[in-house]
Structure 1
Amino acid sequence: MTSHLDRSRRQLLAGGLAAATAVTLPALVRAQGRPVLKAGDQKGGLRALLEAAGGLEGLSYDIQWSEFPAAAPLAEALNAGAVDSGPIGDAPLIFALAAGTRVKAIGANRSDAYGTAVLVRPDSPLKNAAELKGKSIATNRGSIGHYVTLKAITATGLKPEDVSLRFLAPADAKLALTQGSVDAWATWEPYTALAEVSRHARVLVSGRGLLPGLSYLAATDAAIAAKRPVLQDFLQRVVKAQRWSYRNVDAFSATLARIIGIPPEAAKLQFERRQQQWIPIDAQVIADQQGTADFYRQVGLIKQPLDVKGTFDAGFGATA
């Protein structure tokens, strides 16, 4: 398992850093002497939220954005120090930590996990998770799509080896599904909503009832040590922008659609049903995260037990 993990990490590092280099967009022109926050992001993530809410006004630091198609390459960029911080789901954070990434969760949010789902083509004969036995499923290794796949099949009594996992980036996985080279695609928002609205796929199994719906703003240990006030301010702006977004659903959905290049109806669908809320890093969050780590150990995705308590920094006050 270690050799597979190392090989996967090397591949993701190459892809992730290439992606970061290709799409790094300075949000502001750096002024002399101003701190710079190297902010990683995922499609439909923090940048769209902050821009829509006016949350980037009056900054005392500059932001250099790097967008990634999924959490795994973002985690590799964190590990390499290419970014200081970024949004990441509970499962990929476990995978990153087990691989030795020196990073901590500084803010937590919980959302409805419906949009983290196993999708099939509209004409697929598959009706439930049990029928995935012997089928091929595309997803990102260590992603929340990977996690929901394993949760869905083990809940029916199947084992990980009862399905054939193909580890592909979201765009390649979508293509593989639509062309029929895989039977299913396990993904997350906004990809799920986009597939539904475009009628390229339907939800076979959702994450509702299977996943705790946790995601985090993670930051490297080095950034926490050197840029703590900047990270604190950035997190508070994200929390404030999230509150604004649910008071201005139509306006935010339209801006989100424009920024990430998806139809407005898909942007609104994934946003409204997610119902994301920033919450304190409390005992329940830590317990839920420990459950995710224990499950990954159980199914063999991480080799050693992982005590998650030390992977949180609760001193940032995300809900203040």
Structure 2
Amino acid sequence: MVTRRQTLGLIGAATAAMILPVGRTANAAASTIRIGWQKFGILAIAKQQGVLEKRLASRGISVEWSEFSSGPPLLEALGSNALDFGPTGDVPPLFAQAAGGNLLYVGTYKPPAAFHGILVHKDAPIQKIEDLKGKKVAYKRGSSAHNFAFKALASVGLMPDDIEGVDLPPQDAGAAFKSGSIDAWAIWDPFFAVAEADPEARLLVTSENIVEAWGYFLGNGDFVPANPDVITDILDELAKLGAEAQKDIDGTAKQLAEITGVKEEITKVTLTRAGADLGKVALVSDDAVKYQQALADDFHALKVLPRQLTVSDIVWRPKES
């Protein structure tokens, strides 16, 4: 069974109260970019290797990093001008936009198809998704796992009200799962891979063939238009780094393990899931916007989002040079 100690090891200092830099003056050219990161993906490798610091040095820009356990608090910081750039799953930007956060979609990445999983206890009578009816299922509200949990239920004709949803961040969900106070846990990598490896946990279903895999890079709404070349430099560097990292999964697993504290063999599991490709970093495509809009519409129809959103309103389109 995944322990609270193990899960806290993933979160690290991110669970503590964070002292973030105050917001800078709107539309001012930057001398520093403040980046939020999570313990997965190409941005974590970029932090480990220092490639963004090297790329931006010629512009006289330094990099400050702040770690987050999930997308919702990262975007809260970004939308309130305490961060300039960061990655997240599909759902957090919807909640941030609905709350009036000052942010823009600036790029995309493609996580593995099986980036999420629903875990149950080894000896639980739950054998299929339908068996979750009436059960306590934990997921972080406003995270990509929120979408996965709902889509998994919908795939067998269940509605969100058919379960008892429990809103817990990863560290608390891990402890609740260990204690048996929840029946199932919808979670993303690397937390998913750590818990999946525990002999006391059993995988019920992954997100493959249930949720389309989209991840996003977002920027602060003042920082991005004032510093467009910085954003394009970052996305370009991440794409190059990702392509190289994908050529050497063993080496990449070692590098990620060093910065995240997740065991190398567990990290390798996350990097070799179906569809994994760290090099798929790009500007926001029409397909990505279409996906987000459909998701926003679904969540509004389910009364999860308080208002109808137009996702394209906050999508950044760099001007042709």
Amino acid at match of 2:32: V
Q: How many residues align?
A: 294
- Establish whether residue 110 from structure 1 lines up as the match of residue 86 from structure 2: no
- Establish whether residue 139 from structure 1 lines up as the match of residue 158 from structure 2: no
In the TM superposition, what are the counterparts of 1:1-320 in structure 2 within 5 Å? 19-21=17-19, 35-52=31-48, 55-56=51-52, 57-60=54-57, 61-273=61-273, 274-276=276-278, 277-315=280-318
Amino acid at match of 1:306: L
For residues 151-180 of structure 1, the C-alpha deviation after alignment (integer angstroms, 9 at most, x for no partner) is 111222222111111111101101111210
Q: Once the 2 structures are TM-superposed, how far is the Cα of residue 46 of structure 1 from its aligned partner? A: 4.5
Amino acid at match of 2:94: I
Amino acid at match of 1:278: V
Q: Distance in 2 between matches of 1:264 and 1:280?
A: 30
Cα 1:58–1:145 shift into 2, 3 Å? closer
Q: Distance in 2 between matches of 1:132 and 1:177?
A: 15
Amino acid at match of 1:35: S
Cα 1:16–1:221 shift into 2, 3 Å? farther
SS at match of 2:56: coil
Q: TM-score, normalised by structure 1?
A: 0.85
Contact 1:110 1:279 (8 Å CA) reproduced: no
Amino acid at match of 2:35: A
1:30 equivalent in structure 2: none
Cα 1:142–1:34 shift into 2, 3 Å? closer
More displaced, 51-60 or 211-220? 51-60
SS at match of 1:147: helix
Contact 1:49 1:238 (8 Å CA) reproduced: no
Contact 2:15 2:69 (8 Å CA) reproduced: no
Q: Distance in 1 between matches of 2:300 and 2:207?
A: 20
Cα 1:34–1:83 shift into 2, 3 Å? closer
Q: Distance in 1 between matches of 2:81 and 2:190?
A: 27
1:8 equivalent in structure 2: none
Q: Distance in 2 between matches of 1:54 and 1:85?
A: 16
Q: Distance in 1 between matches of 2:265 and 2:173?
A: 22
Amino acid at match of 2:39: K
Q: Distance in 2 between matches of 1:316 and 1:200?
A: 53
Q: Distance in 1 between matches of 2:316 and 2:31?
A: 21
SS at match of 2:227: helix
Q: Distance in 1 between matches of 2:106 and 2:200?
A: 36
Cα 1:244–1:118 shift into 2, 3 Å? same
More displaced, 196-205 or 95-104? 196-205
Amino acid at match of 1:199: P
For residues 15-62 of structure 1, the C-alpha deviation after alignment (integer angstroms, 9 at most, x for no partner) is 98964328x9xxxxxxxx971000011122454311455524353211
Q: Distance in 2 between matches of 1:82 and 1:54?
A: 22
Amino acid at match of 2:84: D
Contact 2:235 2:282 (8 Å CA) reproduced: no
Contact 1:105 1:311 (8 Å CA) reproduced: yes
% same residue:
31
Q: Once the 2 structures are TM-superposed, how far is the Cα of residue 110 of structure 1 from its aligned partner? A: 2.1
Q: Once the 2 structures are TM-superposed, how far is the Cα of residue 280 of structure 1 from its aligned partner? A: 4.4
Cα 1:243–1:183 shift into 2, 3 Å? same
Cα 1:58–1:104 shift into 2, 3 Å? closer
Gaps of 5+ in 1: 1-14, 25-32
Contact 2:84 2:220 (8 Å CA) reproduced: yes
Contact 2:119 2:196 (8 Å CA) reproduced: no
Q: TM-score, normalised by structure 2?
A: 0.85
Cα 1:244–1:200 shift into 2, 3 Å? farther
SS at match of 1:315: coil
Richer in helix (by share): 1
Q: Distance in 2 between matches of 1:282 and 1:208?
A: 22
Q: Distance in 2 between matches of 1:314 and 1:187?
A: 32
Q: Once the 2 structures are TM-superposed, how far is the Cα of residue 82 of structure 1 from its aligned partner? A: 1.1
Contact 2:55 2:233 (8 Å CA) reproduced: no
SS at match of 1:185: strand
